[in-house]
């Protein structure tokens, strides 16, 4: 229980168009830009504003999409 006060950081990963940025914005009350369709929108790692769940501070991390329209999955993993 010593780590109970530590912030929880969750990386949200997935394919282009799966709704990662939209989910993060709705869950956290943030305003991350979201794409429409199957073209990549998230170009770099972004974080939501911190929010509280069951007394713990949570930050969601929006990652660039796998199956990106401009970069390989290897490039994405290196960036993350």
Query: Per residue in 15-43, pLDDT tens?
Result: 777 888 889 989 999 887 766 554 555 66
Asked, for residue 54, whether it belongs to a domain, the answer is yes
| Assigned domain for 66 exists | yes
In a domain, 3, yes or no: no
Task: Specify if 2 maps to a domain.
Answer: no
For residue 68, name the pLDDT band (cuts at 50, 70, 90).
Answer: low
DSSP 40: -
**Range(s) of the domain holding residue 24:** 8-32+44-78
Q: Is residue 37 part of a domain?
A: no
- Examine residue 1 and state whether it is found in any structural domain, yes or no: no
pLDDT of residue 3: 58
**Residue 58: beta bridge partners?**
8, 51
**Pairwise CA distance, residues 39 & 17, whole Å:** 7
pTM strictly above 0.85: no
Number of domain units in the chain: 1
Q: Is the pLDDT of residue 1 over 70?
A: no
Average pLDDT over residues 51-68: 87
């Amino acid at each position: 229980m010593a780590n109970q006060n530590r912030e929880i950081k969750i990386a949200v990963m997935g394919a282009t168009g799966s709704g990662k940025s939209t989910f993060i914005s709705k869950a956290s009350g943030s305003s991350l830009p979201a794409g429409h369709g199957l073209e990549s929108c998230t170009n770099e790692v972004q974080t939501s504003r911190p929010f509280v769940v069951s007394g713990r501070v949570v930050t969601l991390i929006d990652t660039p999409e796998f199956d990106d329209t401009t970069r390989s999955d290897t490039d994405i993993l290196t960036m993350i």
